[in-house]
C-alpha cells in the first residue's frame, strides 16, 4: 500500500531489501492469486451460479488473468533488463529488474482485483492504470539508479512495457481460447 500512497518512501525501503528474489513469494505470486480469485468470483457473480457453463467461463477468465499477469511480469522484466543494457549502457541485473517490475505492477494488480469483482469500473481502471508512470518514475532513480538525464525516457518505456505486456498476453490467450473452443 505504501507504493500507492508514497512511492518514493516505498522504493527506499525496497532498495534496502537484501534478497531481491523475495518479491516473487512475498508479493507477485500472492497478488496474481488474488487477481485470479477476484476475476473468478466476479465472473460467477456476473454469469450466475447455474450450470457448468458459468463455472467454465469463470475458470477461463481466471486463467486468462493469471497467465497474462504472470507472463506479462516476466516478459516486461526481461525487456526492461534488455533496455537497461542496450539503451542506457547499464549492467544486466535480472533479479533487480524483476524486483522493480514486480513492485511497479502494484497499480495493475490492485486495479485488476477491483475490476475483477466490479467490472463496471473498467473505464475508470483504464485511466487509473497510468498512475504506474509515477510509481515507475520514483523507482527509476531510487531502485534502478537511472541517471537523471535518462529518467524520463526510462520511465516512459518501462511504463509502456509494464502496461502492454500483460494486455498483449491476455489478448493472445483469449484469442487462442476462442480458436481452441
pLDDT tens for the chain, residues 1 to 181: 888 889 999 999 999 988 888 888 999 999 999 999 999 999 999 888 778 888 888 999 999 999 999 999 999 999 999 999 999 999 999 999 999 999 999 999 999 999 999 988 888 888 898 999 999 999 999 999 999 999 999 999 999 999 999 999 999 999 998 898 7
- For cell 475458470, name the residue: 59
pTM: 0.91
Amino acid at each position: 500500500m505504501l507504493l500507492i500512497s508514497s512511492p518514493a518512501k516505498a522504493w527506499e525501503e525496497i532498495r534496502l531489501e537484501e534478497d531481491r528474489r523475495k518479491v516473487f513469494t512475498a508479493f507477485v505470486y500472492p497478488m496474481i492469486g488474488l487477481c485470479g480469485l477476484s476475476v473468478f468470483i466476479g465472473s460467477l457473480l456476473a454469469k450466475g451460479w447455474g450450470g457448468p457453463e458459468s463455472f467454465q467461463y469463470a475458470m477461463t477468465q481466471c486463467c486468462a488473468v493469471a497467465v497474462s499477469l504472470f507472463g506479462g511480469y516476466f516478459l516486461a522484466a526481461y525487456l526492461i533488463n534488455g533496455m537497461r543494457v542496450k539503451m542506457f549502457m547499464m549492467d544486466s541485473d535480472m533479479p533487480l529488474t524483476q524486483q522493480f517490475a514486480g513492485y511497479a505492477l502494484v497499480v495493475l494488480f490492485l486495479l485488476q482485483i477491483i475490476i475483477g469483482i466490479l467490472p463496471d469500473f473498467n473505464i475508470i481502471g483504464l485511466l487509473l492504470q497510468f498512475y504506474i508512470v509515477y510509481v515507475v518514475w520514483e523507482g527509476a532513480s531510487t531502485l534502478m539508479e537511472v541517471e537523471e538525464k535518462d529518467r524520463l525516457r526510462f520511465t516512459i518505456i518501462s511504463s509502456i512495457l509494464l502496461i502492454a505486456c500483460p494486455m498483449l498476453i491476455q489478448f493472445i490467450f483469449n484469442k487462442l481460447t476462442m480458436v481452441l473452443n
